[in-house]
Structure 1
Amino acid sequence: MLVALLALQLGSLVAPAYACGCGAMVTDRMARIGIDRETSAVHWDERTGTEQIVMRFTVHGDADRAAWIMPVPHRADVTLGDPALFDELAGLTAPEHRDRDYFWPRGKDWPFAWGDADGAGAAPPPGAGGVGVVGRERLGPFDVARLTATDPTALSGWLHRNGFELSDRLADGLRPYVERKWEYVAVRLAPQKTGETLYGTLDPLRISFPNDRPVYPMRLSRLATTPQSLGLFVLSGHRMEPRGSIGGDRPEVLFAGAVDRPSGALAELAGAGPVFLTAVDQSFPEPSRIDDDHELVRAAADTPYREIVWHDRLWTVGEVPVWLIAVAGGPLLLAAGTYAGTRSRRARAGVRSAP
């Protein structure tokens, strides 16, 4: 079993991370890199027609450099994001915890067993044929290049000149974006200190671009060979939802609610005024079935929603279970009633027999 588990761990580490939820990760042939987690926040301002995507990756492997490509519908600006944003979003969307009592003992209760009675359950995230570099800057550990391309194979040439290789599958995956004349954000990831590897949680990147309708690029995730999951925080003037499932399970809303006074990193992203926050989660058991990007549309109503996690506990009075009081107290009450009835009958009989 230990050998099998070790083989699984090594297999997951060696597998190339050609795609993640919103882009493509490539490295050289001798290095390994994988995405443990991807967290994204999307802010769409309908008044200005501006979309912002903040992404944070947690990676593992032995690569000392990698490249990540994200297609965008229009010319993009790239800056470093605030890591505190995701802590704030997680706090705002955390499930509500409630206690509820039950009467009869269960498997973890005496007399069945000794143990914890708590349980949890949930109730109802350029030039033709070439690459044009429209901007390049160093942002922390990232070397960011903003590119235009009319031929997906041209991206392969740019990556090759910068020390990376674009797989044939990824080149084919980029073709629909080339046909729609999208542009690309190409990011070289490299540790700030020589000799270090890319490992752990990286600084988030914030990508901003004009857009008349919010979209979250997902098509490249069809190249993944293992099941994928997507978690999105969507910030806008109203409750938002994906238009369709695009080949995955039905998207599940984990939170929906208005944030009247954003503060901190959230205010920096969405502004200080009221904003509606929607958290969506979706699974893709078969990534090859992903057939489009997520278009985010306004829901029918701004109905608030929050997950509830129930903590069940045995109903007690003090330290004594109520069921035990009821079971033990029943015979006592019956005996007391019988005794009182007998005394009453005897008393009436004594009154009738008196001279």
Structure 2
Amino acid sequence: MAVIAGAAALGVVACSQAGQRESSPHGIVVNLGGRIAVLDGIDDEPEVVADHPEGTERLDVYRLTAPKQLADGHIIGILDGTLVAIDPKAPDRQVVLGPATSWFAAADGSSVWAVTEEPTATVCSGQAGAESVRSRFSVSDFPVSGRPAQKSYALPCGLRPFAETPHGIAALQVSHVDSNREHTDVVLLNADATAVRQRLARDSSPLAAEGRRILWRESSCGGARTCVKVYDSQDMKTATAPRCAEGTTVGRGILDASGRWYASAISTDDGFRLAVLDLERGSCEDLGRNASLDDNQDLDGGSLSGSWARANLLVLDSVNGALTSYNAASGQQVERKKSLDVSGVAQVWGARTE
């Protein structure tokens, strides 16, 4: 994988708790759809630090799959099947970690786990059932420095890892396949990830996992009930997610690195709105109507790109180029006055945190 040439000279912003509460994000890193740019402040002109390589003017060679920003400031994502780490002070360079089809942060935030899938036909061919039951995944723990993986585990067939807790790796396990759909359970694995040690939820699908919390949706839940559940690995308890007076959470949202704030689309009588759930205080903050959510309510892959930079939620709209910042600690919401020039499915990756 080629390393993009050049680097941007960026300043520094304080990361104290007071600064986290009071300051708007600086050094905002965005992929405008094939051009990497940095905004010193939300209303400043974007400085393009990596343009379209020659011959790729209509392509986005920088697009990351599952981009997130860790608590230490590193932006992590998958580029062409490879897990990479990006320093927001030099977003035009990537540190290659290893091959990955998905990834998640280590429980203590000091490293990341790269997930790879082995060919079903060769490793689980003797297993009965659907192909998903016969799939096998491996995980490798990489420091963001780019050094070799510290440890690796090959999971039993049919277990897809998606998070790490202090009590073990969390995985999705196929429990039943009928003519209509696949039923999956959320489980915790033992220390060496060789067996299930605890079942957290039946017939559920994970939504997000960061810090001390895992969120999932109960597949069979319906009616007026709140279907999103929150598991706190510190208390080892499961609770119902906070309710939003304006509507019901839908789609796949994003958690901040601490696991406190969950940004999600909510379905209301007049369309879809954006909201932030405070999982510590049990509250829901309505951030307003957003038409770009009408076609896709996921914040981790649709036309509305979201990323947490500590307490700051950054949202970039690929339809109209609108960039919005919401500080969950202070409640301050700021929308960029001038829309960004975006193409394709643009992404916001994060911002400086130091």
TM-score by length of 1: 0.24
Q: Is the helix fraction higher in 1 or 2? A: 1
Larger radius of gyration: 1
Q: Name the TM-score, length of structure 2 as normaliser.
A: 0.24
Larger strand percent = 2
